[in-house]
Chains A and B, each alone.
Chain A
Amino acid sequence: MTQYMLSVQHTGAYPAMDSPEAQEMFAATGAFTDKLQASGQWVFVGGLQGVDTATRIDARGGDAVVTDGAYVESKEHLAGFWVIEAADLDEAIALAAEASKACNDPIEVRPFHSV
């Protein structure tokens, strides 16, 4: 078994919380998470608030320098992720395809280091 992170690569602003498309997305991603929990493949799930809520901290120089904003300024950003457990990459890819349909965003699949 390998643990993979399925990260949601979102571009642009989020739709309004009460918009039909956001509601549809919450329902679909919720159903996908339920399915993962039922099959025992679920490890973690989390949705992130918008990049405008991000804060950057850099303490490499000793003092913690706090700045407003995301670490990387790009159109595409991490909107949320699932951590799953799958037999192999093919199984993870099949789940990522479902996740992509559910949240209507591309998904990156990456293995965790085995501890």
Chain B
Amino acid sequence: MSTTPELLAEVERTFREEHGRVVAALTRRFGDLDLAEDAAAEALVVALEKWPTDGVPPNAGGWLTTTATHRAIDRIRRESQRDTKHQAALMITDDTAHEPTGVVEDDRLRLMFTCCHPALPGEARVALTLRMLGGLTVEEIARAFLVPETTMARRITRAKHKIKAANIPFRVPDGTDVTDRLGTVLDVVHLVFNEGYLAGTGDDPIRADLTGEAIRLGRLLRELVPDDGEVAGLLALMLLIEARRTARVAGGELVTLDQQDRGAWDRELVAEGHALVRECLARVAGGGAAPGRYQLMAAVNAVHTDARDARDTDWSQVAQLYDQLYAVSPTPVVALNRAIAIAELDGPEVALAIVDRLDLDGYHAWHATRADLLRRLGRSAEARAAYDAAIAAGDNPAEQAYLTRRRDELGR
């Protein structure tokens, strides 16, 4: 059998999918993230040699883990011959006790908590998660976050050093901590998604791929922590936004929600997202914890994707959900989104009064919202200035194109 591009792509895809499992299993066994990462990379080299002729094994994850484990042991032996201090490493066994936490004990979940530890800088959490669990290369992550590869490599190296030096644990936090810590994990996944979402379609495909990567991490979390409402909420939120991806841009220009071709939405993703939101609602109704921000944002998106026509949108429900969201997350951005719903319910004048009170001068969406409200009120000169400010503050080409057209359509 010869190596075909398809086969090579399959090997790479399998490796990326299984990367988190391999690194997590080895980190647990050897207590060393670096060793785990290097051994996983060596296992890929072996896979690239063998799989094209032997085919991808049925349990590819298990195969890669076993191969990587052998490589790691080889390496420890080699190093221990050079340095007797490493002799002890040979005796390393898996002595991590299983904590009765009520959540599924999976090495990948432990790895997520390690990579997203609050003692690490925020950007390092994102990079480590994509590297270790997502199996992205440092070069790919650097490209996705628009920084030089050396910068990203340094960021990841420093984070790994801190994990080792400060002894950041490889385990699921227990008891009361788990909810807070799960929140930081969800925030990392959401950040990855937003990075891809903001990149739109015109940029480097790697950036747009981040939405898919975030959804994959979201699905993994959902599999590992099936009973948490916020985990389900985040996955639902991402699916409902991803479902509208192709309808969101036409001819290089942003298409706003009310103008989108709703027939072009991905029905399967919408259905999956709605099912998750219904599950969240049932959990809350059944006496579960009050919904957090991901569930509420998912619910807003569920209301939007529920309307066959933009005119059928249940704006009072949207406004009510934003009220709830503001109660748990009182930020001016939430207030801005709530004002957009208020414009539909009580008119643009009422909404503009709310928007004008918000301190969001550097935020392009604030200017864009003001511009639209002023346009609807027939205040063209002010609308034009607001469109200019929105264009100056933003950086997404599709959105810039949309705002420019709207500005140029204003009557004098």
Contact = CB atoms under 8 A, between A and B. Distances in A.
A2 B167 contact: yes
Nearest to B168: A89
B169 A90 contact: yes
A4 B177 CA distance: 21
B394 interface: no
A93 interface: yes
Given A89-B119, A90-B177, A93-B119, A111 B165 contact: yes
Contacts of B117: 89
Contacts, number: 25
A68 interface: no
Q: Which residue, of B165, B166, B167, B168, has the highest number of chain A Cβ atoms within 10 A?
A: B167
Interface string B109-148: 0000000010100000000000000000000000000000
Interface string A80-114: 00000011111001000000000000000111000
Contact size range, A? 10 to 19
Contacts of B173: 90
Contacts of A111: 165-167
Interface residues of B, number: 9
B119 A88 contact: no
Contacts of A89: 117, 119, 166-169
Interface string B156-190: 00000000011111000100010000000000000
B371 to A, nearest CB: 43
Nearest to B174: A90
Contacts of A2: 166-167
Contacts of A109: 166
Main secondary structure of the interface of A (DSSP, over half): strand
Interface in A1-46: 2, 4
Contacts of B165: 111
B141 to A, nearest CB: 24
A62 to B, nearest CB: 35
A93 B117 CA distance: 12
A89 B113 CA distance: 13
Nearest to A93: B119
A86 B166 CA distance: 11
A68 B119 CA distance: 36
B125 to A, nearest CB: 14
Nearest to A94: B177
A100 B268 CA distance: 50
Contacts of B177: 90
Nearest to A112: B165
Contacts of B167: 2, 86-89, 111
Given A2-B166, A111-B166, 19 more contacts: A2-B167, A86-B167, A87-B169, A88-B168, A88-B169, A89-B117, A89-B119, A89-B167, A89-B168, A89-B169, A90-B168, A90-B169, A90-B173, A90-B177, A93-B119, A109-B166, A110-B166, A111-B165, A111-B167
Interface of B: 117, 119, 165-169, 173, 177
Interface of A: 2, 4, 86-90, 93, 109-111
13 contacts: A2-B167, A4-B166, A86-B167, A88-B168, A88-B169, A89-B117, A89-B166, A89-B168, A90-B173, A110-B166, A111-B165, A111-B166, A111-B167
